[in-house]
Amino acid sequence: MSPVFEDSRLDPTELPGPAEAALRYLASTGARIRSDAAGLATSADRAATELERPRGVLVVGSEARLVRSVLEPVCPVPMVAWPFDRLPAWVGPLDLVVALDTETDQLSSAPGQSCLESVAEAQRRGAGILLAGREDSPAWRAAGSRSAVRLPVLSADPMSAAVVVLALLGQIGIGPHVDPEQVSRAADLVAESASPHHDLATNPAKEMACALADADPLLWGGSVLAARSARRCAEALRRASGRAALSADADALMPVITGTAVRDPFADPDIDGLATRPVLVVMDDADGADAAGRARLEAACRQHDVAVRSISLPLGMDQAGPVDRYVTLLLEGRFAAAYLALGLGRFGVGDGDDR
């Protein structure tokens, strides 16, 4: 039997240990970014002198695709996110290998991705290396101290490492300007609004968790980074609820919405059971991309009695940079997933039973 969502569990006085740890981890995102950016100035100075403009950029490791998504619109040279250990044959002395050698995210079931083989091979080929990772890691030692720019990452948080790497690449003219302090402030705003000490009426993350308590979420984002945040939030919602959560483009979501029967107002949950229904969750980063797709989805939802919710930016962030907006949407979605797991009683329960 599926666990029953109880909003009384969201009371901060009732938080079990695993739930408190997960919420603290999310709330400290801004602090982790600041900690990892502490040595950015020194590394940027060395990168400016050691790394010439490359022929191409290859990004490996955790959150490589996030780095690619941010770099692609402005990067002056070809670049690719590479998911394999062995480097492609074309990488040579004229290219730059960006490696994010971090441990797994504490709230993710995916294992960490070591960059040891990629970094060692890049070193043998004489390619430029920009490595973000722990100073005592095998990849850090394999990169060497002369041929690589090494950026120490203290927190082992993949997203934090990606923010700092993007900031450094922006300073040497390969990517857009990214200010880690500004990203940290955006994360702090989300942590404040989603604090467990705010009640349901003033906490958007708790409100979203209640809206998804008996739903099958359909997540959609119009821009590249909004779509990526939708995929990551869908992962978090699947882990939180043990139910389906789909992230896809408008064409893929339309058949699910149009195939939903109109709600029966006379249905009795005690007799007929509490059936889950899809809920469209729009990741609104104020980018305005694919406005037609959003309008089409929302029109279909109105026609088929499908609820529409949105995860949007706090006031004053409409002009924020793409990384700030991405981190904001991702954190808001992950807070909502944490409260959903809390309301379902799934924190600290290995088999997912309601206790």
CA distance 258 to 302: 10
Model-level pTM? 0.91
Please, what are the domains in the chain? Answer: 31-181 (3.40.50.10490), 183-343 (3.40.50.10490)
pLDDT for 12-65, tens place per residue? Answer: 887 888 999 999 999 999 999 999 999 898 888 888 888 888 999 999 998 999
Cβ atoms of residues 147 and 126 within 8 Å: yes
CA distance 323 to 167: 10
**Residue 206 pLDDT > 80:** yes
Burial class (CB in 10 A: 0-12, 13-18, 19+), 80: middle
Phi–psi pair at 233, nearest 5 degrees: -70, -35
pLDDT the model gives residue 349: 42
Supply the mean pLDDT for the chain: 89
Cβ atoms of residues 199 and 261 within 8 Å: no
The closest alpha carbon to 211, from 276, 260, 286, belongs to: 276
HSE-up (13 A, CA, CB side) for residue 256: 23
pLDDT the model gives residue 219: 98
pLDDT for 298-319, tens place per residue? Answer: 999 999 999 999 999 988 777 7
